[in-house]
Amino acid sequence: MSTFSSRAPNRSVLRAWGLALAVLSVILPALPLGPLFAQPPLPLAVLWAAYGWAAEDESGWRAPLTLAVLGLVHDQLAGGPYGLFAAIYLSAYLVGRILAVLMSAPNLVSLWGGFIGTAIVSIGVAYVLARVGLGRNVSVLPYAEAAIITAIIFPIVRPLYMSASPSLRPGGRR
């Protein structure tokens, strides 16, 4: 185990990659690069970051502030109103903290289940807030599709955001 730990990439490097993915998932859909880079099918990598940082007990101000900034940038690129994506990402962070405690077993099913729960709650939040911000005509279906794609891919990118060890999680044994 100690050998594995010494070979594992630096935690801060992984976090940097996770943040880079989150930033790319906000910026890439805004560039006119074709339908392949639209959202969906591009995953909402900010949800990975929100859940991963919440589950890793990033209790400082950096995680929520970063999510708020990413949300506001996403709002700006999407044409507004400000606050919609920021609220979705921040609510995912808060829900992620609760679900990370409930699903704190150190196995993939538990971690994945926690993220699926977070994604489902974020769809509900998006449904309510999008109708408030964008009117009744708006549909949450495209967002739900993107969130489902994000949930399916989560096990592949999980090491970028969180470790399987429960030691750092809010409900984990220290």
Partner 1 sequence: MARRRSSVRRAGGGRKVPAGVLLGVILVIGAVALIGTQAGRTPQTEIVMQTGDEGAATAGRVATGPARAGEGFFDRLFGGWNSAARIEELEAENRELQAWRDLAERLAERNRRYEALLRMPADTFGEGADIDNSIAAQLVLDSGGPFMRTLVANAGDLHGVKVGYIAVNENGLVGRVVSVGQHSSRVLMLDDYNSRIPVMGESSRVRAVLAGQATRRPELSLYPYQLQAPRMDFIVGAQSLREGERVITSGDGGLYPRGISVGVAQRQGDGSWRVSLAASQQPIDFVRIIPFIPVDPPEATADPSATPPLGSSSSVAVIGRETMTAPPTAPSPAPAQQQRPRQTAQNQAPAQQNQTPQPQPQQEAPPPAEPPATPPQ
By CB under 8 A, name the binding residues for partner 1.
27-34, 37-40, 42, 57-65, 67-68, 71, 74-84, 86-87, 90-91, 93-94, 97, 129-130, 132-135, 137-143, 145-146
| 154-167: b (≥16 Cβ within 10 Å) or e | beebbebbbbeebe
11 vs 82, which CB is nearer to partner 1? 82
1 vs 79, which CB is nearer to partner 1? 79
Smallest distance from the beta carbon of 98 to partner 1, in angstroms?
A: 10
| 56-80: b (≥16 Cβ within 10 Å) or e | bbbeeeebbebbbebbbbbbeeeee
106 vs 170, which CB is nearer to partner 1? 170
Smallest distance from the beta carbon of 78 to partner 1, in angstroms?
A: 4
Q: What is the total residue count of the chain?
A: 174
From 57, 59, 129, 56, select the one nearest 89 (Cα to Cα): 129
7 vs 174, which CB is nearer to partner 1? 174
User: Which amino acid is residue 98, in one-letter code?
Assistant: I
Phi, psi of 58 (to 5 degrees): -75, 85
Smallest distance from the beta carbon of 173 to partner 1, in angstroms?
A: 18
3 vs 60, which CB is nearer to partner 1? 60
Smallest distance from the beta carbon of 140 to partner 1, in angstroms?
A: 8
Smallest distance from the beta carbon of 88 to partner 1, in angstroms?
A: 9
Asked whether 43 and 21 are in contact (CB, 8 A), the reply is no
Give ∠ CA 90-172-7 in degrees, rounded to 5.
Answer: 90
